[in-house]
């Protein structure tokens, strides 16, 4: 199993550009999520999904969109990049029993710089 994969590993954008961060998992997990990690801020939840076709906002959703058309994929879209979105982005997936999220498996991260 590849687990959770993320592409690209690194990306540099100019202010105003858009891009999509890809995330895929092969563990048939219902629950998937996106976090950003910033110095001194820990991991903050951007968006999450409890299953295909269902998404919801986390703690810091502004400037990001998500969709979940399949169980495996959960892409994160930056609509118009801003320097404040410079961060390391982690995708995670988890088996969930009902509404209870179990331990999450994280991808290796995408380091994004917005100039």
Partner 1 sequence: DQQVKQNSPSLSVQEGRISILNCDYTNSMFDYFLWYKKYPAEGPTFLISISSIKDKNEDGRFTVFLNKSAKHLSLHIVPSQPGDSAVYFCAARGYQKVTFGTGTKLQVIP
Q: How far is CA 42 from CA 25, 39, 56, 88, 110, in A?
A: 23, 7, 20, 11, 16
Establish if 42 lies at the interface with partner 1 (CB under 8 A): yes
Q: Which of 32, 109, 112, 114 binds partner 1 (CB under 8 A)?
A: 109
What are the tokens at 112?
Answer: 């994004």
2 binds partner 1 (CB under 8 A): no
Strand intervals (E) in 1-115 = 4-7, 10-13, 19-25, 31-38, 42-51, 54-57, 64-66, 76-78, 87-94, 96-97, 100-101, 105-106, 110-114
Question: Closest approach of Cβ 4 to partner 1, in Å?
Answer: 7
Rule CB under 8 A: which of 11-40 touch partner 1? 33, 35, 40
Nearest to partner 1 of 75, 108 (CB atom): 108
Give the residue with the Cβ less far from partner 1, 14 or 28: 28
Does residue number 61 form part of the binding site for partner 1 (CB under 8 A)?
Answer: no
Give the binding site for partner 1 (CB under 8 A). Answer: 4, 33, 35, 40-45, 48, 50, 56, 58-59, 90, 92, 99-101, 103-109
């Amino acid at each position: 199993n590849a687990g959770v994969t993320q592409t690209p590993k690194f990306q540099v954008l100019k202010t105003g550009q858009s891009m999509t961060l890809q995330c895929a998992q092969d563990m048939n997990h219902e629950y998937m999520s996106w976090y950003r990690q910033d110095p001194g801020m820990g991991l903050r939840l951007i968006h999450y999904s409890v299953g295909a076709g269902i998404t919801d906002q986390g703690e810091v959703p502004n400037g990001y969109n998500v969709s979940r058309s399949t169980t495996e994929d959960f892409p994160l879209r930056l609509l118009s990049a801003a320097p404040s979105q410079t961060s390391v982005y982690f995708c995670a997936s988890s088996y969930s029993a009902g509404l209870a999220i179990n331990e999450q498996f994280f991808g290796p991260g995408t380091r994004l710089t917005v100039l």
